[in-house]
């Protein structure tokens, strides 16, 4: 091969690089910078106009990548993956450095005056709820993001009654049904703290069916119920992808999971590494409604029981085929949903002027349920909460042995070491050390006082070491106000 032909086959890499860079610049200019923004966690987003409506996508998402590729094709460009990646990186930099910071919501967004609920349809419409009405809107003033599992809510229809829901779920008592409705309205409010809905019952009591139907009115999902998370990171991932978390067939709640669910239900901040090899943290700040079901009494921590609505379901006697049940439910779902929206309107209008005496730990939840017009919900919730606390105590070996101790000695005083020895004499084996015993007692102290009338205090002794004093009353104290 002669020298001239050899030179003709040599690629000019500088020209090729310049060509790709030029295409990247064209793609970046294709996206209006006014449509770029970021959230409080520095996640970059873009508003994209599709078929006459606005959609909101994270820049680091498959949807936005496909959109950018489509824009490139319309310009006669066919970018390779590296060019797309470079384009998205530049847009991401613009969104974070130059773009405004905006809140991005998942399914529900709320403030003091209004609630917006993402319908999750192809037109990206939302339901606007105000103090006077609810209506469908094409361009809500808030931004929503969507995840792959989310499904569309029914188009709400007026003229229905929330009582129609009762025929489809296995809840017999009126008070229990009121609590189910209160939980659903709390979840649609979009502001925590939320109670944790716990369904207990033997096989065949339609626990999963109840959760699926309630979820279809709040946050429909391709996977309506899931197995319990194995680690904290799994729970965070679920909370980042669903508004309502629903876990099926729970047999045991480890202490870490119980504590984290308490934080998640009432609102808290969590952090974990983005990847196990990363030094940067992934931050999650939110509150989420949670629903659990299982056969046995799996709540063993007083703080979670105190935040829970616990319903025991009886076996279904008049069983119907699931297909027939869901078919009839689907015919009523739009009207039931419309009736729930009517109650949200009432709640927004009356909440600022609603007062409830003897507010419990989940004070905002109860006040909201009363504002929404649920009749006699205060007594239903108070009795359910006290029953939940008692159920937790009856499953606690420590609570049982303390009650046995105080039955013999109405007043007991001493150190944690003394108490541990006394409890061991009654067959207790649940604490490894006096300090562990003190911690366990502090966790169940409120429950012991409210349910069984047993007061546990930790007065200072002369040696500046804290002692323990346990006394019993003739009757349990009423549920005391506790801030949320």
Residue 430 has what pLDDT?
79
Q: Tell me the per-residue pLDDT of 225-281, one tens digit each, with 9 for 90 and over.
A: 999 888 887 888 888 899 999 999 998 888 889 888 988 888 766 665 555 444 455
**Is the backbone of residue 181 left (phi > 0), alpha (psi -120 to 50) or beta?**
alpha
Comparing 209 with 360, the larger pLDDT belongs to 209
pLDDT at 153: 98
Give every strand in the sheet of 454-457, ordered side by side.
Answer: 411-414, 468-472, 454-457
Give CA–CA dist 94/321, Å, rounded: 55
Q: Is the peptide bond before 193 cis (omega within 30 degrees of 0)?
A: yes
**Which one has a higher pLDDT value, 473 or 106?**
106
Residue-level pLDDT at 99: 96
Domain 162-390 has CATH 3.40.50.300: yes
The pLDDT mean for the chain works out to 87
**pLDDT, tens digit, 9 for 90 and up, residues 129-143:** 999 999 999 989 999
pLDDT at 340 over 70: yes
Q: In what order do the strands lie in the sheet with 308-312?
A: 245-247, 290-294, 196-200, 308-312
> Residue 290 has what pLDDT?
96
| Pair 412, 469: CB distance under 8 Å | yes
CA gap 269, 251 in Å, rounded: 27
Contact (Cβ atoms closer than 8 angstroms) between residue 233 and residue 269: no
Report the pLDDT averaged over residues 304-330: 87
Lowest mean pLDDT among 47-56, 108-117, 141-150, 317-326: 317-326
Banded model confidence at residue 66, pLDDT cuts 50, 70, 90? very high
Higher pLDDT, 432 or 466: 432
Residues 6+ apart with CB under 8 A from 363: 356, 481, 483, 484
Res. 11 pLDDT band, cuts 50 70 90 = very low
Contact in structure between 265 and 289 (CB atoms under 8 Å): yes
* Residue 374 · residue 436 · CB < 8 Å: no
pLDDT digits (tens, 9 = 90+) for 373-422: 999 999 999 899 888 888 888 888 899 999 999 888 889 988 888 999 98
HSE-up of 56 (CA within 13 Å, CB side)? 24
Residue in the block written with tokens 């709540």: 299
- pTM of the full predicted structure? 0.85
Q: What is the C-alpha separation between 330 and 170, in angstroms, rounded?
A: 17
Closest by Cα among 199, 217, 216 to 207: 199
Residue 315 has pLDDT above 80, yes or no: yes
In sequence order, what E strands does 7-142 have?
A: 36-38, 44-50, 53-58, 104-105, 108-110, 115-118, 126-129, 134-137
Domain boundaries, the chain: 15-97, 104-144, 162-390, 396-472
Q: Tell me the backbone φ, ψ of residue 273, rounded to 5 degrees.
A: -65, 145
Q: Of 16-25, 124-133, 355-364, where does the model show the most confidence? A: 124-133
Q: What is the DSSP letter of 296?
A: S
């Amino acid at each position: 091969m002669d020298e001239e032909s050899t030179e003709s086959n040599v690629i000019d890499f500088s020209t090729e690089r310049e060509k790709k860079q030029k295409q990247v610049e064209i793609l970046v200019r294709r996206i209006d910078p006014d449509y770029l923004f970021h959230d409080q966690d520095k996640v970059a987003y873009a508003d994209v106009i599709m078929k006459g409506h606005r959609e909101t996508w994270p820049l680091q998402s498959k949807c936005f990548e496909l959109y950018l590729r489509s824009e490139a094709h319309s310009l006669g460009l066919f970018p390779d993956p590296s060019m797309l990646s470079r384009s998205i990186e530049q847009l991401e930099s613009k969104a974070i450095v130059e773009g405004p910071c905006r809140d991005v919501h998942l399914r529900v967004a709320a403030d003091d005056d209004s609630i917006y609920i993402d319908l999750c349809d192809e037109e990206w419409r939302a339901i606007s709820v105000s103090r006077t009405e609810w209506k469908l809107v094409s361009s809500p003033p808030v931004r929503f993001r969507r995840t792959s599992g989310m499904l569309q809510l029914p188009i709400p229809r007026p003229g229905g009654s929330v009582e129609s829901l009762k025929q489809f779920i296995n809840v017999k008592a009126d008070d229990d049904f009121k609590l189910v409705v209160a939980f659903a309205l709390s979840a649609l409010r979009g502001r925590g703290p939320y109670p944790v809905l716990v369904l207990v019952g033997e096989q065949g009591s339609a626990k999963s069916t109840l959760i699926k139907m309630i979820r279809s009115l709040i946050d429909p999902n391709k996977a309506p119920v899931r197995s319990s998370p194995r680690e904290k990171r799994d729970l965070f991932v679920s909370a980042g992808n669903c508004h309502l978390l629903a876990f099926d067939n729970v047999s045991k709640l480890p202490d870490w999971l119980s504590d984290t669910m308490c934080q998640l239900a009432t609102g808290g901040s969590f952090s974990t590494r983005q990847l196990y090899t990363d030094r940067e943290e992934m931050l999650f700040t939110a509150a989420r409604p949670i629903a659990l079901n299982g056969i046995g009494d799996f709540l063993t921590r007083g703080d979670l029981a105190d935040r829970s609505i616990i319903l025991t379901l009886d076996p279904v006697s008049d069983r119907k085929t699931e297909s027939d049940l869901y078919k009839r439910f689907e015919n009523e779902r739009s009207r039931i949903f419309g009736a729930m929206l009517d109650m949200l309107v009432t709640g927004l209008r009356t909440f600022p002027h609603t007062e409830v005496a003897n507010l419990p730990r989940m004070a905002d939840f109860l006040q909201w349920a009363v504002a929404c017009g649920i009749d006699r919900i205060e007594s239903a919730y108070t009795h359910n909460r006290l029953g939940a606390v008692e159920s937790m105590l009856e499953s606690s070996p420590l609570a049982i042995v303390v009650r046995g101790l105080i039955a013999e000695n109405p007043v007991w005083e001493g150190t944690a070491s003394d108490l541990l020895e006394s409890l061991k004499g009654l067959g207790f084996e649940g604490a490894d050390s006096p300090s562990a015993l003190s911690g366990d007692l502090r966790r169940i102290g409120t429950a012991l006082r409210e349910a069984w009338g047993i007061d546990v205090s930790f007065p200072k002794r002369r040696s500046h070491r804290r002692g323990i004093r346990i006394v019993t009353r003739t009757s349990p104290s009423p549920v005391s106000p506790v801030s949320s």
